[in-house]
Amino acid sequence: QVQLAESGGGLVQAGGSLRLSCAASGIRFSINTMGWSRQAPGKQRELVASINIGGSTNYVDSVKGRFTISRDNTKNTVYLQMNSLKPEDTAVYYCHTMYRSPTYWGQGTQVTVSS
């Protein structure tokens, strides 16, 4: 059974930091590109960051320089370090696999940034 379990969300003031974690089980984690996406109320889900099996990363322009995605294959875990948070970062954040079929998604974790 595949499970992606996010944690680390919460309420933070603007300018603050949070670190999201996503522990994977039931998949060969090390061969999967992993992503973090987010969905704010009334908006489409957007891909925020991704990391491939070699460790190369990509970010949406709005988070470049503030967010860092990383992975630990020994722990089957992907992280999203979020610094200098802004109210517009408020959303439900999901981790997921990428480029393989089927794709797997976690249940999401709420991040709320107050101004």
Helical H segments across 17-82, by residue range = none
pLDDT digits (tens, 9 = 90+) for 35-76: 999 999 999 999 999 999 999 999 999 999 999 999 999 999
Collapsed DSSP state (helix, strand, coil) of residue 71: strand
- The sheet with strand 46-51 has its strands ordered as 10-13, 109-114, 91-98, 33-39, 46-51, 57-59
Burial class for 60, CB neighbours closer than 10 Å (0-12, 13-18, 19+): middle
pLDDT digits (tens, 9 = 90+) for 77-107: 999 999 999 999 999 999 999 998 899 999 9
pLDDT of residue 113: 98
